Chains A and B, each alone.
Chain A
């Protein structure tokens, strides 16, 4: 079992072709991944998730900072000395070896006795239901099966840390959901510390004990899925986590405690935060719509309705902003309706206009 600690970890890849020093791919990461936790690194493509994971694995050097596993510095340890297993995005199966050999390779390299190897390989194969494919070459397997072989290879090693780099991104949607559930069960069964890289906020939310949200190489927030969703630390987290995307717009102080969207009648009650302007975030599913009184212009005009069956997303033009509200069922709005927006139910998130950090109110 293992606890992983990142202390001011940064990574700069070598100078670019033009001789200039590259921007750091990862900058000043500090957080603790508790023993047995399932932690997701979440962020858009290119934000440094894989780089972080590779540094934990020892596949990339750390430019500055330190990584501790169980309070031991591992900066100079080779990957195989860190007692971890890695599941790669493209699975990285050895093409010339059978499935059995793929799973057994890491054990052979560690001089595990033959009988023990056999037990562990069969056990891993049984867990992932790939016993029939043990003699096949990876080329002959489907994407889903290869994925399972990659997982089996990791499990058979029985490491204290699992690292996953977008392991589900090459699967089709149905298989992805199914494998996601299985991963969660697997983690509960094995209980090993897991670090999971993904750009899919839904994956991160469903799987994780903690989520580390990253953007442009920096940590935006490290917290539970609840915290990340309901108390986003920055505007970036607010906009990245949650589907449909949070409504975000700038409001201006109108009267004491109330802020309004310029050019509209829409106002919200934030309280006194001592700022003239502030960024405000409202989750679409927490905002209700009401038809405006006959003849009244209301807050805005319905621009589009997107029914999803159980709910519908209604897009409303408010001034020069597009505001989204998620209403139950099919809703009874048509394009052109004048509507009022009711936010009494909603948590109002405020962010500093310049820094994007959360403002409590």
Chain B
């Protein structure tokens, strides 16, 4: 089919990878981009058990701030909770990592940082230890246990492994300026910029996205071949299947609410 796919790596700077993708359609480039943003799993705090919080910050705000801390992710040893065999609401060592926080301000005020979280699994730790969480006045204390889990960006942005994932279509002149050999005639060209939050190396995010997309096409192809084509479709599939802790609405309830309004 037409021209050959080509990839040219540009630079890797910190957590930002830049590469050029040539010889594919916009649909392919866009599927890759969308998958990196919303369907490559990474770790984030999901459940927080608060034993003491005498700070000025309410429990739910604190829990939300904890959820947004990027965590180093290990995709080899952890699985998505909905794919774990344990079936437990609290999870097991394969589907959750615990981090604890036990801080009090004595004598003078102090700020609690992400670095104060003590990981049970040393691999699953905050990417940056200098993220301020809350400031404690003398005498105030914080004691909690946080459960980190793998999740997908389409459920909550805290599970987005990339802080930036974009592509820009470039023309021949721009490619020449970048020193790309165009003698073969490459068709469309896209410059990708993938910036990881630090949870995974950016090149790993790209290869994981390929794996996820490949899995989808594989599943689709298999189902077509086997003729599994009369399955029941829920209208809020993602929320019902993977949206742990989210407000759950069933299609029936939704319709009832609509009728009541009328």
Bound pair: A and B?
no
Chain B positions within 8 Å of A, measured between CB atoms, are none
**Chain A interface residues toward B at CB < 8 A:** none
